[in-house]
Structure 1
Amino acid sequence: MNKLLPTSTAGSLPKPTWLAQPETLWSPWKLHGDALLEGKQDALCLALQEQSSAGIDIVSDGEQTRQHFVTTFIEHLSGVDFENRQTVRIRDRYDASVPTVVGTVARRKSVFVDDARFLRKQTRQPIKWALPGPMTMIDTLYDSHYKSREKLAWEFAVLLNQEARELEAAGVDIIQFDEPAFNVFFDEVNDWGIATLERALEGLKCETAVHICYGYGIKANTDWKKTLGTEWRQYEKAFPKLQKSSIDIVSLECQNSRVPMDLIELIRGKKVMVGAIDVATHAVETPEAVADTLRKALAFVDADKLYPCTNCGMAPLPRSVAQGKLRALSAGAAIVRQELSGADQ
């Protein structure tokens, strides 16, 4: 990407009301069979058009073809029983009914590759595709087979690598692994979490990213944030090891958060997707507020490595709010881009 400060989203965008219940996670599909396939592709085209018209530079599918950023991938694996559900604590924050690992996990066929190929045909812009990271996958399941979080994470890393290689071959420019669990299980992150992530991206020639945030703007996450005190220093635990890893880009939450901006210094040398849009509020940022966040980040990341982004996915937001936030992100980046080009003259 040659453009200075290229903008992108962290992941999901709201689905149209005719496809799924809006502002709801795990929302069931309103269509079935061939109509569902066509509806998903229509929604993907719509999400692409909304990003392009808002001026987003690196576009995505907006996760229009999946119900959830983790479980949709898991649904396509063997060894996981979705009928046999157990209640587990997700990221030490809230209880959820999840499927059970009952045998050896395997990827029977590609999961998102057809969707990625379809997206690639719709645009000449750089495209980014999000996959769940190994640690976040194991945190969204009950394991009655491996009985080891680490062992299961290594198994998932192999399957994710198979998928990622096929996505790259389908024309994806950036493959992003979503790892919100990196902000919670600090010992495991450093013991084996980053290592399993590197296994997932082994052999890839396209750019790779890891997205680590404080979650969607749902009550369980916003309540958790209230317990974190005046400074959120969770990134401090994983960043030193990530800085030494082979990952190209680190995506983090900055807008309306209590993350000290100087923590970005710990990943100096990496490209940084700086979250300059708060997904936990319906209030649409002004371009100047976005620009202010980006200016602060520039003290700790070189301009050619700064990628303005959203804090997290926007699936739970109204579409009109998400569209306004996309436009604000582009406009804020344009302000700082202009300032930087003026400074170079």
Structure 2
Amino acid sequence: MNALLPTSTVGSLPKPSWLAAPETLWAPWSLEGDALIEGKQDALRIAVQEQQRRGIDVVSDGEQTRQHFVTTFIEHLEGVDFERRETVRIRNRYDASVPTVIGAVSRRQPVFVEDAAFLRRQTDRPIKWALPGPMTMIDTLSDRHYGSREKLAWEFATILNEEARELEAVGVDVIQFDEPSFNVFFDEVHDWGIAALERAVEGLRAETVVHICYGYGIKANTDWKATLGAQWRQYEASFPLLQRSSIDTVSLESHNSHVPIDLIELIRGKRVMLGAIDVASEVVETPEEVAGTLRRALEFVDADKLVPSTNCGMAPLPRRVAYDKLDALVAGAEIVRAEVAPRG
């Protein structure tokens, strides 16, 4: 692995067309039974091979074995009824039919540990696994039991910590928690959101990451972004709190966004996983465009703490486009790596 500017992805990569409908977010599986299990593993192998072939340093599963970055975890928990659906507003952006919490939530068995162990066997490179964060989990449900977003978040944080410890035990090097809700519910982030996240990472030796972005490149998200004005300053609410937290790395959206690059100064001292690839566009960045984004960030983060990455997951993109974007990410990182290496 490159010790300087190691490349990574946020999470999802497009699935093969024989596993799920292409360019469709959260598409249902095209296989079932044993064929689905085998198909998921084959897709995971492909995702690993493609990342390695293109030079990605920290390899993920590409979320090939799950339909949804939040509900696939939740559907393995007790206390949540997936037959009882209710429509809720997701992150104050769009309505969705979601499952309902009807009793005490608990984890009856590991959710992703077997898949993570399979990933570990596919590569000698460091591996990363993404989990939903506590606040984003509660925002993807209807609660008819706890009556308190904070109380339910704490329950989920404990469950996530159990899962994360077992992921670490099977060889996961980096554990990422996805918290797009941190860009919406600022009072809750301050009052209990950061604390719940720290409960989720308690006792871990693996590198911990919180990923905060502006969402997949779907219409509901792009429409929301269009209302945010010339500067997106949402990170100002969470970054000072995260800078004082026990989280190792903060993952943020940057390339082709309106996030002022100097906001990175607010997390000085943390590792910064910088989104240098736009996942809301099928236009493939040039290596020089990626390098330009990384150079601007280096004014506010030391080179030994910068991790070039994508803005968000790439599941809805055409596979060719997604992998070409990984080529650009790696090539852009190499340009900047050569520039900063001589000065240490």
TM-score range, shorter chain: over 0.9
Q: 1 CA distance for matches of 2:21 and 2:93? A: 24
Letter in 2 for 1:270: K
* Residue 147 (structure 1) shift: 1.0
For residues 135-168 of structure 1, what are the alpha-carbon distances to aligned partners after superposition, in whole Å with 9 as ceiling and x for unaligned? 0000000000001100000000000000000000
Does residue 122 of the first structure (1) align with residue 129 of the second (2)? Answer: no
Question: Is residue 2–residue 57 contact of structure 2 (8 Å, CA) maintained in 1?
Answer: no
In structure 1, the residue matched to 2:104 is 104
In structure 2, the residue matched to 1:75 is 75
Secondary structure of the structure 1 residue equivalent to 2:59: coil
Q: 1 CA distance for matches of 2:288 and 2:301? A: 19
For residues 90-114 of structure 1, what are the alpha-carbon distances to aligned partners after superposition, in whole Å with 9 as ceiling and x for unaligned? 0000000000000000101000000
Q: 1 CA distance for matches of 2:343 and 2:146? A: 56
In structure 1, the residue matched to 2:184 is 184
Secondary structure of the structure 2 residue equivalent to 1:284: coil
In structure 2, the residue matched to 1:52 is 52
* Gaps in structure 2 of 5+ consecutive residues: none
Moved >4 Å (runs of 4+)? none
Does residue 217 of the first structure (1) align with residue 196 of the second (2)? Answer: no
Q: 1 CA distance for matches of 2:16 and 2:275? A: 24
Alignment of 1:254-333 (within 5 A): 254-333=254-333
* Residue 22 (structure 1) shift: 1.1
Report how many residues are paired: 344
For residues 149-200 of structure 1, what are the alpha-carbon distances to aligned partners after superposition, in whole Å with 9 as ceiling and x for unaligned? 0000000000000000000001000000000000000000010000000000
In structure 2, the residue matched to 1:31 is 31
* Residue 3 (structure 1) shift: 1.3
Does residue 8 of the first structure (1) align with residue 8 of the second (2)? Answer: yes
* Residue 341 (structure 1) shift: 1.8
For residues 186-240 of structure 1, what are the alpha-carbon distances to aligned partners after superposition, in whole Å with 9 as ceiling and x for unaligned? 0000100000000000010111000000000000000000000000000000000
Question: Is residue 14–residue 314 contact of structure 2 (8 Å, CA) maintained in 1?
Answer: yes
Secondary structure of the structure 1 residue equivalent to 2:69: coil
For residues 69-96 of structure 1, what are the alpha-carbon distances to aligned partners after superposition, in whole Å with 9 as ceiling and x for unaligned? 0000000001000000000000000000
* Gaps in structure 1 of 5+ consecutive residues: none
For residues 267-313 of structure 1, what are the alpha-carbon distances to aligned partners after superposition, in whole Å with 9 as ceiling and x for unaligned? 00000000000000000000000000000000000000000000000
Secondary structure of the structure 1 residue equivalent to 2:193: helix
Q: 2 CA distance for matches of 1:309 and 1:224? A: 23
CA RMSD of aligned residues (A): 0.7
Letter in 1 for 2:156: F
In structure 2, the residue matched to 1:95 is 95
Q: 2 CA distance for matches of 1:5 and 1:165? A: 27
Question: Is residue 276–residue 309 contact of structure 2 (8 Å, CA) maintained in 1?
Answer: yes
For residues 297-341 of structure 1, what are the alpha-carbon distances to aligned partners after superposition, in whole Å with 9 as ceiling and x for unaligned? 000000000000000000010000001000000000000001112
Alignment of 1:231-250 (within 5 A): 231-250=231-250
Q: 2 CA distance for matches of 1:343 and 1:147? A: 55
Letter in 2 for 1:84: R
Normalised TM-score (structure 2): 0.99
Secondary structure of the structure 1 residue equivalent to 2:92: coil
Q: 1 CA distance for matches of 2:304 and 2:314? A: 26
Secondary structure of the structure 2 residue equivalent to 1:152: helix
In structure 1, the residue matched to 2:133 is 133
